[in-house]
Structure 1
Amino acid sequence: VLHVDHTAIKTLPDSIGLLCNLNELQLNFCPRLVALPSNICKLRSLQTLFVTACSNLEQFPLELGNMECLRELHVGGTAIRHLPDSIGLLKNITVISGHGNCRSLATKSHFPSFQFLALPRSLNTTSFLPPSVSGLHSLSELDLSYCSLSDGDIPDDLGGLSSLRVLDLRKNRFCLLPSSLGQLTSLKKLFLSRCWKLKSILEFPPNLRRLIARDCRALENIPDLSNMKFLKYLDLESCCKLTDLSCMWYASSPLATSCAALQIYRVLHADHTAIKTLPDSIGLLCNLIELHVSFCPRLVALPSNICKLRSLQKLFVTACSNLEQFPLELGNMECLRDLHVGGTAIKNLPDSIGLLKNITIISAHGNCRSLVTKSHFPSFQFLALPRSLNATSFLPPSLSGLHSLSKLDLSYCSLSEWDIPDDLGGLSSLRVLDLRKNRFCLLPSSLGQLTSLEELFLSRCWKLKSILEFPPNLRHLIARNCRALENIPDLSNMKFLNYLDLESCCKLVNILGLENLNCVQEINMEGCHYLSTSFACSRRSLIHSTRHDIKGFMNNRSAI
């Protein structure tokens, strides 16, 4: 193996041909490389050759075909226009990567073992495509992404690529796909994202496993998917003209009735689409584990059959602003772990949510009134309250039942000191507490009982005047811009604190115990202009005993 990437070489010595056992040569990103010696073609054991991004390299030696073991040739980003005709002698070649401007790559369609072809990402790619691809019987991956292909540019015999497993057509200009696409019986992955003019797809390859067609803004219709027995992942995010998903699975089809075609589904993305509801047959996707229908402003209802998705683990309906309610049978989704309903018109979740024993995350930044009153979820790990002036009506009187809660987000909730339940300290598993942008003047004394808490966020709590006690095992304390904060407790016993950010706490007078923070890595005190002279001793001691970053030292010297 020989690597000389990113060097200033202009050529290789003729003696390169003496490296008779060399099997990999990398010459990438050598902008001064202008020629390769003909003796390079004597490397009969060479299997992989990279000259990517050698922008001044214009040609290959005519004897290229003598490199009989060559399997991979990467020439993207060079000035090479043509490869020598002798390339047709390379019977073992499987990969040619030509993202750049090599004009003849795709015309050598007689390689019996050819497996991978990546065409140049260029406005002139049409001149690089051969009129026929049927000779590439071993081609397994074809990358035509970002090639600005229009209707008619893709060869009609595309369906003759009998071994093709991956087809990448992202960011092209066609309105339709060739009808022969459905003949690609070996195709497993199809990428169509950002084909902004694509209006319709007539037929899909029958054995497709993964279909990603994000941001196809003109796409209005897709074919019936009920016969696609192996499809596991479907992503139609931001197909904003797609109004109906019922074409994906028909309950009346024999396959749908038996679930033979539908039980393979694992993930479905339909975010940013124009759908108004989901078809009743959604309940037939019996092995679906993720369903994403966020940012669908026309979505007004979910069918009750969605609750038959007993394998579903994650459900996202975020920012579906006209969605007003969930089906009453929500509790039947026994595997549901993550539920994201922020930004909807949902006011209450059905009482059956209490049956969801595996629920660990409910994210409700929005206005769902009843989320946090269901405090009997034994495995509950994450709770995010609505960012609302009325958030106080969302908090339960007690948090003590949430023994598994590890993250609590009460940021931007306009909470006053009497709004936070007194038993906050009973959250024995809590690791992250976010209280940013609230109205309280004091924090509950039980805060110090949170022995598992590692991260505490208090920034922009503008009325906060004093903190009585910190949790003992805190690692990150971020309290930026707490303008009224005058006192914080002694930090001497905080053995694990490694990040302290008190920027713009402009009324803070003293920080006790700073010199005892053995684990601290970074302290930010910029804008703390009123720190006392007693603080200076602590800070100098810390500076002399550590090499840690202490921001704001020079800014505050004049005030000390």
Structure 2
Amino acid sequence: MGNIEKLIYSGLCPCKNLEYWSATICGLQHLRGLSLDGSIPEDLWQLESLEKLSLNMVEIRHLPDSICMLKHLKSLEISNCLLIEQLPEEICRLECLEELYLCSCTSLRDIPNSICKMKWLKYLRVVGCDKVEKLPEKLGCLKYLEKLELGRCKSLQGIPNSICEMKCLKRLDLSSCDQVENLPEEIGCLECLKELNIFSEGISRLRLPQSIFQLKGLRITGSREQLQSYGFTSFTESYPGSLNFYAVEL
């Protein structure tokens, strides 16, 4: 394993006693993609060329600080890591990061304010993170963010007004964020916004600000009942064959 210089992608099954493998993989200087299930090598910082890192079902409460030293990392995915309670505050040191995915991390409580310093971030996906109640107030500092997906964040209380500064934002997904009642009043400033998903399985309390109707070409996805409550009378099935997903285009 140590002689492999150009391994592009490696996956590891959820095994507990592979210390030798973990020590060896950190010597792969040309490794660009790595998917780990079950354990994380302590010396990840040695993977200087790593661009994509995927962690799935890792049984730890905190990510090792060495992750923040992967200066060429462009994509970080953390999925089904049920015990992780927080991300490193130093995660902003991932200066090249373009994609951050946090999926079904059910113990995660908040998103560190430092991510607002990740100036090249284009895609932020926080999905199925039940305990996340709020987002950083200065999230709008992510000037190049194109997609903000927050689906199934059941405890999320609101969206910071600063997102109205995201002039590149194209997609905003708030599906099944049932505690969110208001969108920023100035959301109509998001001239690039083309997709807004507000689908709710129950009674939605979300209010659409008047400025949103300035966004010509915006596609709003929700349930039939939701769209009717906003006064829309003409809409189409958003996903043909799916249950109660409809869309309207402004």
Output the TM-score relative to the length of structure 2.
0.82
Q: Is the 8 A contact 1:222 1:247 kept in 2?
A: no
Aligned to 2:196, what secondary structure does the other structure show?
A: strand
2:205 to 330, 338, 346: 346
The DSSP-based 3-state class of the residue aligned with 2:50 is: coil
Match of residue 355 from structure 1: 214
Number of equivalences: 234
Higher radius of gyration, 1 or 2: 1
Pairwise CA distance, 1:305: 0.6
Identical pairs, percent: 25
Match for residue 181 of structure 1? 44
SS in 2 for 1:249: helix
Counterpart of 1:272? Answer: 128
Give the structure 2 partner of residue 325 of structure 1.
182
Query: What does residue range 379-418 of structure 1 map to in structure 2 within 5 Å?
Result: 385-386=224-225, 391=228, 393-396=229-232, 408-409=236-237
Counterpart Cα distance in 1 of 2:54 and 2:204: 34
What is the alpha-carbon distance in structure 1 between the residues aligned to residue 182 and residue 87 of structure 2?
Answer: 29
Contact kept, 8 Å, 1:335 with 1:358, in 2: the verdict is no
Determine the structure 1 residue equivalent to 2:29.
162
Superposition TM-score, scaled by structure 1 size: 0.39
Instruction: Name the Cα RMSD after superposition.
Output: 2.7
- Say which of 96, 106, 112 aligns to 1:230: 96
Residue 194 (structure 1) aligned to one of 57, 64, 75: 57
Q: State yes or no: 1:149 paired with 2:5.
A: no
Equivalent position SS for 1:306: helix
For residues 56-80 of structure 1, what are the alpha-carbon distances to aligned partners after superposition, in whole Å with 9 as ceiling and x for unaligned? xxxxxxxxxxxxxxxxxxxxxxxxx
Structure 1 CA distance for aligned equivalents of residues 232 and 176 of structure 2 = 24
Partner residue, 1:403: none
CA distance in 1, matches of 2:81, 2:162: 28
- Match for residue 82 of structure 2? 217
1:298 aligns with: 155
CA distance in 2, matches of 1:169, 1:141: 14
- CA 1:312–1:160 in 2, change beyond 3 Å: closer, same or farther? same
State the partner residue of 1:206: 71
1:313 corresponds in structure 2 to 170
Residues 170-225 of structure 1 show CA distances to partners (whole Å, capped at 9, x for unaligned) of 3x2x3xx3331123111011111233x13221231121011121111111222222
Q: CA separation of 1:159/1:289 partners in 2, compared to 1, >3 Å: closer, same or farther? A: same
Does the Cα contact within 8 Å between 2:138 and 2:160 map onto a contact in 1?
A: no
Q: Which runs of 5+ in 1 are unaligned?
A: 1-105, 115-137, 251-255, 366-384, 400-406, 411-431, 437-560
- Partner residue, 2:248: none
Match of 2:222 among 344, 357, 364: 364
* Stretches of structure 2 lacking an aligned partner (at least 5 in a row): 245-250
Residue 288 of structure 1, CA deviation: 1.0
* 1:245 alignment counterpart: 111
Q: Which has the higher contact order (CA 8 A, sep 6+)?
A: 2
